[in-house]
Amino acid sequence: MKILEDRIRRDGIVREGNVLKVDSFLNHRMDVELFREMGREWKRLFADRPVNKILTIEASGIGIAAVAALEFGVPVVFAKKSKSINLDQDNYVTQIESFTHHRTYDVIVSRKFLGPEDHVLIIDDFLANGCALQGLLQITKEAGATVEGIGIAIEKGFQPGGRLIREQGFRLESLAIVESMDPETGIVFRE
């Protein structure tokens, strides 16, 4: 998606450790006009899929998922990162290893808000090693929901998450795929 790639080129900052900072339009200040264009693009790409719910994970997924949900006309459920879990029967629970924070989170979704009747589009801001997505996929599986597709804003194509998810047969649409990035030479996108 050209406007997203242009924005990453203009405002993205490449940090040591394969981290791309996009705080100025996605992860801290949010450019909701850009989010709307991203939502429209996912709507176009998944037009043939009977999506009735969008699933994302806090915190950075929520903004883009909420704006995309307006295009789909469906509600959003976000998985909550939880330090201490009430081991009750009310939640689906999984563990996710954070790429940026180098720690493991427990993640929960209430059983009230996801079930076998759901046709889910999963949306998230970044795809790196795929841990966050695998956790969300695990939750949808436990819920008996159908995954209609996965929409990612920025995939780091040089990390294995995208390949692993596509190999599992999921339809994954990343709006920008970073092929390589370097603090000196900049960012190259996949054609």
Q: How far is the CB of 109 from ligand 5GP (least distance, A)?
A: 16
Cβ proximity to ligand 5GP: between 13 and 86 the closer is 13
Among 25, 72, 126, 189, binds ligand 5GP (CB under 6 A): 126
d(CA 121, CA 99) in angstroms, rounded, equals 22
What is 61-105 written as a DSSP string? HHHHHHHHHHHHT--EEEEEEESS----TTEEEEEEE-TTT-SEE
The helix/strand/coil state of 19 is: strand
> Is 19 among the residues that bind ligand 5GP (CB under 6 A)?
yes
Question: 143-162: which residues touch ligand 5GP (CB under 6 A)?
Answer: 156, 161
Residue range at the interface with ligand 5GP (CB under 6 A); choices 19-27, 75-83, 85-93, 142-150 = 19-27
> Is 128 among the residues that bind ligand 5GP (CB under 6 A)?
yes
Cβ proximity to ligand 5GP: between 60 and 91 the closer is 60
Q: In sequence order, what are the residues at sequence separation of 6 or more whose Cβ sits closer than 8 angstroms to the Cβ of residue 115?
A: 143, 144, 145
Question: 30-59: which residues touch ligand 5GP (CB under 6 A)?
Answer: none
Among 24, 52, 82, 129, binds ligand 5GP (CB under 6 A): 129
In angstroms, what CA-CA distances link 176 with 3, 6, 63, 106, 136? 9, 10, 17, 28, 21
> Is 94 among the residues that bind ligand 5GP (CB under 6 A)?
no
> Is 131 among the residues that bind ligand 5GP (CB under 6 A)?
yes
Q: How far is the CB of 163 from ligand 5GP (least distance, A)?
A: 12
Question: Is the separation of the CB atoms in 175 and 1 below 8 Å?
Answer: yes
Q: Which of 83, 134, 73, 133 is nearest to 108 (CA)?
A: 83
First to last CA, the chain: 10
- Contacting positions for ligand 5GP (CB under 6 A): 19-22, 27, 60, 99-100, 124-132, 156, 161
